[in-house]
Structure formats: C-alpha cells, structure tokens
Chain A
C-alpha cells in the first residue's frame, strides 16, 4: 500500500518544491490581491451602507469572505498547469503515457501541488496583513476577523481540505480537456468563467438575488470558496457545517470519477504531436 503510493507522493513533493521557487511572482501576486481585495470590500461596503437591511451578511462576514478569497485565490481552479499544456502541444505527453503508473492519479498529484504550493506562500503575508496589521492601523472594521468560534475554525479547516480535493478534481477536468487541443481551450475558458462566478469569487454568493439561491446552493463550485469562507465567519452555522462538508466530498468524488472516465476515453485518442 505504502509502496504503491510512492510515485504519487514523490510527484506531489517535487512539484511543490519547484513551484515555491517563484518568490518575486509571489510578491507581485500579493500586492495585486491586496489591491483587489480593497476595491471589492469598498464596493460591497458602499452597497451595504446604501441599504443594509437587504444584506444577508454583516460587514465582518463580508470582510472575511473577501480576504479569505484573496488569500486562497490560488486554490481555485481558474488556470491549468502550463507545463502539462506544453507537453500536450509538443508531443512529450507520450512519455507520460508510458509511465507504469495510473495516469489520472499521477496527474492529480501534480495538480494538487499546483493548487496548494504557491497558495501556502501567498496566504501567510495576506493573512498577516489583513488579520493583524490592519486592526493595528485602526482599520479593524475592514480587517479579516478571526474565526467566530473554535468549532467554526475546526470545520473551516476540514472544509478547506475538501476544497483542495474538489479544486484539484475540477482542474483535472480542465487538464483532460487539453487532450482535445482547440476545443479543450474553449471548454477551459467557459470553466474559468463558471468557477469565478459560481464559487463566489466575483461577489459572495449570498448577495445574489434570492430567487437564484436554490440554484446556487446545489452546484459544485460553491464548495471552492463559498462554503469554507462562510463556515469561518459563522454565516453557515456549525450545526449544518458538517452537512456542507459532506456535499463538498460527494461532489469531489463525482468529479474525480467523471475525470477518470473522460481521461480513459481521451487516452485512446491522444494525438502525439512533433517528430
């Protein structure tokens, strides 16, 4: 069992270490996300000030949602592994097919590294800034508040773990789509659009109109951001948190299964390019 998992764990570790090399890019990303978070928060606060009875979320809950969204942006499946994309384009994907490992699991491991490595590095300065520095500078109302309770914190960590699994599964769909080079790119663009809106990254999902809420509730993308962030801020109570996490896990399993089947179809029709 341990032996069987070894190549996948090695892949995860190797990619993780490689991605940590890009420190300058990480700094630029930090500044960008800080700016982005500030604009979003100011706009949402302005709406809240205009009509705060209409809001199903309080300002601290919105602040937590926005800052966690910026800190954990890299977890969201909005891009693909460019190296993998190049492998498909250059024909080097043939080597991947020859390896005596399960291709889906092997790629899933490298996808997980993509979703977590840079995020871990970016997350820390972001949380320090929004959670510690801002309150110290007298911007406490705009800051990232601590989790509402110890239980919420615990559920948040569980939910976030499920988020990583779910985000990797969705990214894997995008990676499999790359096998169909051109239409795959179209599929991925549409996916990115769906992820950005339906996860809650554009605006927190509870702020969408009430009549859209049932639809927004029963879709997998909210497990990428909406669920963990609202558990953190107490907008989703600890009484239902576990049920939400189960949903995240069920969606992950379903999407992994779909990706696995799709890859086995795709494998038989990979065109190896290049000479």
Chain B
C-alpha cells in the first residue's frame, strides 16, 4: 500500500517535471484556463448586480458555493486525466493491454498517467472567490468549520473522480470516449455553482438520489454557511451527507473491476 503511494508520488513528480520543460506553454495555458473558467463568476456577479438578490441567497453565499466547487473540481480535473482520456488513448489504441501486463493495479497506473498542471488556473480563481466570499460573510474559521470544509472538498473531489471513472468504464463497451459524461462532470460543476434549492424539484431529486452531487456540495455548504436550509434538512444530515461521495467513489471502483473483466483487446 505504502509502496503504491510512493510509486504514485513518483509518477506525479515525473509528470510535473515533464510539463515544466515547457514553461511558457504552461503559463499560457494556466492563464487561459483561469480566464475561461473565471467568466462564469462574471456572469454570477452581473446577475446579482442586476437583480439585487436571489432570494434568499446573497452574492457572497453563492460565491462561497462557487469557490468550494471549483477548488475541488480543479483537483479532480488535474488528477483524473488518465481516466478522462481512457477511451481514446487506451481502449481504441489497444494500449490498455500494456497496462494489464504491468505488475501494478490498473487504477494506480491510470491515476498516475498525468497530473494536468494548468488546471491551477481554475484552482486559483476558485481560491480568490472563496477567500472573498468568506471575508464578506465574516465567517469564523474554527476547527470544526475547517474540518467540515476539508471533508466537503475531499468528498466533492472523489465524487467527481468517481464520475470520470464511470465514464471510463463505459468506454470498455463503446471503445470511444463519451462526450456525454461531460454533461455530468462539467455540467455538474455548473449546476453546483448555485445552491441546489434554486432548481426545479425533479432536478434536485436527480442530483441528490441518482447522482449525489447535492450530497457533497449543497448540504454541507449550507452547514458551513450556518444558515437554515430552504429545503428543510437538519444540520446532522448536512454534515454526514458528504459520506455519499465516498460511497459513490467506491461504487465506481467496483464498476471499474467489472469493466476490466469484460475487456477484450482491440489492438492489433
């Protein structure tokens, strides 16, 4: 186990060194990513400027949602590249055969495939927005709140990671990377940037019980903001809800196993 972690660390380190060979390119991509992901916040700001509020939500509160989701997803987006490209780069090409031959778990190898550095652009804008929101809301960062924030972000990170693994599992059958999963990953980020309570009922249910996005973002963030939930949940529920993210991640790993067992090579 420890051995695997050390190996993973080495793979990530190698990936960072490789990308640092092209410093100018890295900087440009990061700035670009900062801009293209940051425009969403411009939209949110403009809407609050126009309408005043989104009853009962205020701009700093929505910005808090935005910050937490973007920071967590930036990590997933950087660390799940191997699974994200799985259909196109491993299945279609037959490269997965080579992965299977190595005496290490497939999950470890794919997780260490690449650490996409320029996602720091999304991370940075998320951090800026979150710090601003936290100041505006005058939140007091005691141990309990810090712990809940870390728990929430970890849960969101593994939840999105699980979604991307599920996308990869599908390509065992389709041999293609499916753009359709982007609806749930990038679309999920887009959705969770606003409080779940502003959406229609069926939409809320879907993102609570089918794809547990609200469990890892909306509910714990309501507790972090220390406000009553318009959907009427209790504090205890809000604090344990993120556990669903880890369960979801575990389930996606099980599905991954099923997929690997189903795999028949396409290479020549």
Contact = CB atoms under 8 A, between A and B. Distances in A.
Nearest to B41: A202
Contacts of A209: 46, 49-50
Interface residues of A, number: 37
A133 interface: no
Contacts, number: 102
A195 to B, nearest CB: 10
Given A186-B28, A202-B43, A39 B50 contact: no
Residue among B50, B52, B180, B182 with the highest chain A CB neighbour number at 10 A = B50
Contact of A36 (B40, B52, B178, B187): B187
Interface in B179-220: 179-180, 182-183, 187, 190-191, 194, 198-200, 203
A137 interface: no
B49 A186 contact: no
B4 interface: no
A57 to B, nearest CB: 10
A58 interface: no
A179 B266 CA distance: 37
A46 B54 contact: yes
Interface string A180-210: 0011011001101100110000110001110
A28 B53 contact: no
A171 B178 CA distance: 27
B24 interface: yes
B233 interface: no
Contacts of A42: 198-200, 203
Given A35-B183, A42-B200, A50-B51, A190 B178 contact: no
Contact of B180 (A31, A48, A196): A31
Interface in A16-66: 24-25, 28-29, 31-32, 35-36, 38-39, 42-44, 46-51, 54-55
A51 B52 contact: yes
B32 interface: yes
B54 A190 contact: no
User: By DSSP majority rule, is chain B's interface helix, strand, loop, or mixed?
Assistant: helix
A24 B171 CA distance: 14
A196 B198 contact: no
A126 to B, nearest CB: 14
B136 interface: no
A47 B24 contact: no
B101 interface: no
Nearest to A30: B180
B179 A46 contact: no
A108 B46 CA distance: 35
Contacts of B40: 202
B227 to A, nearest CB: 16
16 contacts: A28-B180, A31-B183, A32-B179, A32-B183, A35-B183, A42-B203, A46-B198, A50-B53, A50-B54, A54-B51, A54-B52, A55-B51, A189-B36, A192-B36, A193-B39, A202-B40
